[in-house]
């Protein structure tokens, strides 16, 4: 774990410690966001709030997340990940522990819409995606798949525990226990173990001997200075690759956040028990691991657009199965199959997109670009969940919004093969 680790001993390469920490951090942080779907059930039962109103809180969170992302990225580039990512754990921990005191819808909007949103901007997908190229080059796709799939293990392990805690001790206790775990364990681990880049520890990318890495150390690049979010956007706005990636980011944000925010309610409506619905929710996150690792590997060897198209196809197939589940009865197996297919596709989309952005815009402003593209992701996440919630409030069904997501995912497949043809790895 020290800077004396031999750079020619890959199995001791500290970059894998960083990836492991990133894996754990995203597991807790992603589950904190996913838990919104779980907590909706007892909140609606106790306070009688509508699904559309709670979906609005989720949308507000995505808007704040999107607007904060570029500034988080700028700070990341100027001061390094150690000055950004650990504070995300602190804010998310405060959000969850503060959930113990919820007594009005305003409390939900403040905690979820502000604290959780800023916490995710400081330590979410974009920041961890920008962290990876500081440690890996040749194995970037694999490292991204492992890191980003941490959300899967978090969902599988933490969501069922969260539901059990709610059923055993109440939703307030569940909020408090989850929040304290982040504040007392995860945040200190990030402050103590996270390092900014391989060269700061005398290491080369991928843990290779000096001179064998594909890319020079970051300090040797000519474009050293990190630019402001506004300057980076102005320099990118005429690049068609930037807008194509922004559209992909919007589609990923729309599809994933809409499904995941409504999933617990959807399965409870389909006569699944709270525990069974939580298992499906957890499994859908867990199988993001396989999707991230396998499709990350596919994108390394066959190209990013092939990996992205394959992932989008799996996600579309999962949503089609989801639409059929209410007519199949309350047997859990169709739900488990959905979780496998949709989770595998979602993990692949995230890993391929992250690697694709790095391939296209690697450099000292990468984290800022990730943050700006996060605006598109946030816009998709802000639009989808309240739209699905309000649609259910009006017509009593998720058929229309989920069917639209299938069309969105098919559009992703088309973009993968045609829009990215000239810009893939």
Residue 360 and residue 140 in contact, taking contact as beta carbons nearer than 8 Å: no
pLDDT(50) > 50: yes
pLDDT(31) > 80: yes
Residue 105 and residue 57 in contact, taking contact as beta carbons nearer than 8 Å: yes
pLDDT of 279-330, one tens digit each?
Answer: 888 888 788 777 877 877 777 777 777 888 889 999 999 999 999 998 887 6
**CATH number for the domain whose boundaries are 13-206+227-419:** 1.20.1250.20
The whole-angstrom separation of Cα 63 and Cα 107 is 17
Highest mean pLDDT out of 179-183, 223-227, 285-289: 179-183
Give the pLDDT of residue 213.
54
Burial (Cβ within 10 Å: 0-12, 13-18, ≥19) of residue 345:
buried
Give the pLDDT of residue 5.
44
Q: What is the mean pLDDT of residues 63-77?
A: 84
Give the pLDDT of residue 372.
78
pLDDT(127) > 80: yes
Residues 6+ apart with CB under 8 A from 197: 80, 134, 135, 217, 218
The whole-angstrom separation of Cα 204 and Cα 210 is 6
Give the pLDDT of residue 316.
95
The whole-angstrom separation of Cα 252 and Cα 96 is 25
pLDDT(184) > 90: yes
How many residues make up the chain in this entry? 425
What are the start-end ranges of the E strands in 100-230? none
pLDDT(36) > 60: yes
pTM for this entry:
0.72
Give the pLDDT of residue 260.
84
Highest mean pLDDT out of 88-97, 134-143, 305-314, 391-400: 88-97
pLDDT of 239-260, one tens digit each?
Answer: 788 888 888 889 998 998 889 8
| Three-state secondary-structure class, residue 21 | helix
In the numeric block, the tokens 């509508």 are attached to: 50
pLDDT band at 94 (very low <50, low <70, confident <90, very high): very high
% of the chain with per-residue pLDDT over 70: 88
pLDDT(223) > 50: no
pLDDT(12) > 70: no
Give the pLDDT of residue 421.
55
* Tokens linked to 163: 């539901």
Q: What is the mean pLDDT of residues 199-211?
A: 70
For the chain, give every domain's residue range.
13-206+227-419
Residue 111 and residue 200 in contact, taking contact as beta carbons nearer than 8 Å: no
């Amino acid at each position: 774990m020290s800077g004396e680790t031999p750079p020619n001993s890959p199995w001791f390469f500290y970059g894998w410690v960083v990836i492991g920490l990133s894996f754990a951090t995203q597991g807790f942080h992603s589950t904190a966001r996913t838990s919104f779907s779980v907590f909706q059930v007892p909140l609606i039962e106790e306070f009688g709030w509508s699904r559309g109103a709670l979906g609005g809180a989720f949308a507000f969170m995505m808007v704040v997340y999107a607007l904060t992302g570029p500034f988080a990225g700028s700070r990341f580039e100027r001061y390094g990940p150690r000055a950004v990512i650990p504070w995300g754990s602190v804010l998310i921990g405060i959000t969850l522990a503060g959930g113990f005191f919820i007594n009005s819808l305003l409390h939900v909007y403040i905690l979820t819409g502000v604290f959780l949103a800023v916490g995710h901007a400081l330590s979410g997908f974009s920041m961890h995606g920008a962290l990876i190229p500081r440690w890996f080059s040749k194995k970037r796709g694999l490292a991204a798949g492992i890191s980003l799939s941490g959300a899967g293990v978090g969902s599988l392990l933490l969501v069922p525990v969260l539901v059990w805690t709610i059923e055993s001790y109440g939703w307030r206790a569940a909020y408090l226990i989850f929040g304290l775990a982040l504040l007392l364990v995860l945040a200190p681990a990030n402050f103590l173990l996270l390092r900014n880049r391989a060269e700061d520890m005398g290491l080369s990318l991928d843990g290779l001997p000096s001179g064998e890495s594909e890319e020079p150390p970051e300090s040797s690049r000519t474009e050293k200075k990190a630019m402001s979010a506004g300057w980076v956007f102005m320099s990118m706005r005429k690049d068609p690759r930037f807008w194509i990636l922004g559209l992909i980011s919007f589609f990923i944000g729309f599809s994933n956040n809409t499904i995941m925010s409504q999933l617990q309610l959807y399965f409870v409506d389909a006569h699944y028990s709270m525990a069974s619905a939580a298992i499906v929710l957890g499994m859908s996150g867990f199988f993001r691991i396989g999707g991230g690792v396998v499709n990350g590997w596919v994108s390394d060897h066959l190209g990013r657009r092939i990996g992205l198209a394959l992932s989008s196809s799996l996600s579309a197939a999962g949503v089609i199965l989801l639409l059929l589940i209410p007519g199949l009865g309350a047997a859990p197996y169709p739900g488990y199959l959905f979780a496998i297919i949709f989770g595998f596709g979602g993990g692949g989309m995230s890993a391929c997109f992250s690697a694709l952005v790095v391939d296209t815009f690697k450099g000292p402003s990468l984290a800022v670009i990730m943050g700006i593209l996060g605006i598109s992701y946030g816009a998709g996440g802000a639009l989808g969940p309240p739209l699905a919630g309000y649609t259910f409030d009006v017509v009593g069904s998720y058929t229309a919004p989920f069917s639209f997501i299938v069309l969105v995912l098919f559009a992703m497949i088309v973009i993968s093969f045609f829009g990215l043809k000239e810009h893939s790895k």
